[in-house]
Structure 1
Amino acid sequence: MALQHLSLSLQFARDAEAGAHRAVLPRHKVARWIRHALSVDGEITVRIVGTEEGRRLNREFRQRDYATNVLTFDYQQEPTVLADLVLCAPVVEREAREQNKTLEEHYAHLLVHGTLHAQGWDHETSDEDAQEMEAYETAILQELGFADPYGT
């Protein structure tokens, strides 16, 4: 399978909560996970943030007053995907623990998930769309050597 070209900016907030995740997210792995989910070339910024920034962004852009695992800001889908993916480190860590996953497994899943959102995939439009997106995520993650993130 030929992978798409990716221009990646990987950022870690100065917040101590996010900085500890740097070791789990080496640039080459983040790029690999995202490239497997891209159907066209991409220019993507990935920012790992703490609770405060994650909550503020979710409140401002989604009108939901809590920190969520991943926010996708897609600006263009063709001919090149232009997007920002913001992942809240404490939320990702808590979810990984609750789901009995490694931090790496959960980050891989959320980066694939966010990359699909950046290309127009949406699991909130219908049950059918959710099932289709989950199946595609699972296939991508299995290709990368990870287990089904949904445990089915």
Structure 2
Amino acid sequence: MSSAPISPSSQHLAVIDRQVATEADLLPSESELIDWVSRVLAYHPAETRHEVTVRLVEVPESQALNRDYRGKDAPTNVLSFPFEAPPEVPLPLLGDLVICHEIVAQEAQQQRKPLAQHYAHMVIHGTLHLLGYDHIEDDEAEAMEHLERDILADLEIPDPYVET
């Protein structure tokens, strides 16, 4: 059971660099992105890096990044690029999230979920990757998904891993 606050405190408030590289409508606002990332940070009170770049992109950019950095020649919903500063350069940058609007919108429709709720899940999922969480091994996936469920429940968003 987690004991994190439902609403993040000011010490966990994220700083977001929102970059829009798509003509799509219904993109998450800066305030939504701040809220979602801040909620993840509230579960990690020792974390001092609170700055995240969130880039909202089209399919070709997502596909190129996924191919170049993950060896998968297909677009994907969210890519996470953790920032690792040299020890002598203390920066509050946690990393970058690259989110493909078209993929997120398609998934939301296929899963019969409101777009904003699916975006919240993708931002939370990506931010957890920035913090070092992974889902390659079953036990890691279980821990990551449990935390995602808790954070989404704080937002009154249903469990994204339950089939509807």
- Does the TM-score normalized on the shorter chain lie above 0.5? yes
Match of 2:149 in 1: 138
Match of 2:133 in 1: 121
Of 53, 62, 67, 1:59 maps to: 67
CA apart distance, 1:94: 0.6
After superposition, the C-alpha distances for 1:51-103 in whole angstroms (9 at most, x for unaligned) are 01110110111110000000000013998452100000110011111111011
Gaps of 5+ in 1: none
Gaps of 5+ in 2: none
- Do the aligned partners of 1:21 and 1:89 also contact (CA within 8 Å) in 2? no
CA apart distance, 1:5: 2.9
Give the distance between the partners of 1:134 and 1:75, measured in 2 at CA.
23
Match of 2:13 in 1: 5
Change (3 A) 1:47 1:32: same
Of 32, 57, 75, 1:49 maps to: 57
The one-letter amino acid of 1:47's match is R
Give the distance between the partners of 1:140 and 1:76, measured in 2 at CA.
25
Give the distance between the partners of 1:44 and 1:81, measured in 2 at CA.
6
Q: Which runs of 4+ in 1 moved over 2 A?
A: 76-81
Q: Which has the larger radius of gyration?
A: 2
Change (3 A) 1:79 1:142: farther
Question: RMSD in angstroms over aligned alpha carbons?
Answer: 1.8
The one-letter amino acid of 1:89's match is H
The one-letter amino acid of 2:161's match is Y
The one-letter amino acid of 2:64's match is R
